[in-house]
Amino acid sequence: MNYEIRIFSYGMKKEITHIIGRVERIGERRDRYRRDLRRHRLSPPLLLVLRLLESDPGVTMVELARRLGASVPTMQSRINRLEELGLISRRRSHEDRRKVPTELSRRGRTLLRRVPLAGAGRLIDALENGEVTPRRLRRLAEELKNVERLLFPEEGRKKPGRRPTSLWRR
């Protein structure tokens, strides 16, 4: 029995086509978004750092690392990259010379107006703005995990020593 006949026998062709189409569309949109970011020499984690600096000017490197669940050396690398691109500026605190608050440059603010928020940053905004509750977000995450298991069951088998990829990777 071929797939077409089995799909019709369950009466679910519309639903299956819809799910597959949505998954493909999400992948295509993510790829297009990342290409747009690369034109600005950015990655999603770098853009997320810029968004956090926009919402909380002067935040320290340690605090940024804590909020994003990244190590301080990783955050240092991201901050250095953003400074090289001219998107942020740093200055030593007069009260505590160990602190080096970071803020957006004019160029960084201009870039943020042109680059829309997507991915993790969009989810965080949706939570903060009340567009989605933490409970609904957890349900969505579980359903996406279930869809992924259905579509790619062979990837569900863990390989020894393999770590999951980080959302916040550079």
Domain boundaries, the chain: 1-39, 41-115, 116-153
CATH of domain 41-115: 1.10.10.10
DSSP string, 112-140: HHHSPP-HHHHHHHHHHTTSS-HHHHHHH
- Return left, alpha or beta for 71; rule: phi > 0 is left, psi -120 to 50 is alpha, else beta: beta
154 DSSP 8-state letter: G
Tokens of 111: 């870039």
Rounded to whole angstroms, how far apart are CA atoms 92 and 90?
7
pLDDT digits (tens, 9 = 90+) for 35-57: 888 888 988 889 889 988 888 88
pLDDT digits (tens, 9 = 90+) for 54-105: 888 878 888 888 988 899 999 999 999 999 999 998 776 666 655 666 788 9
Give pTM, 2 decimals: 0.63
5: helix, coil or strand?
helix
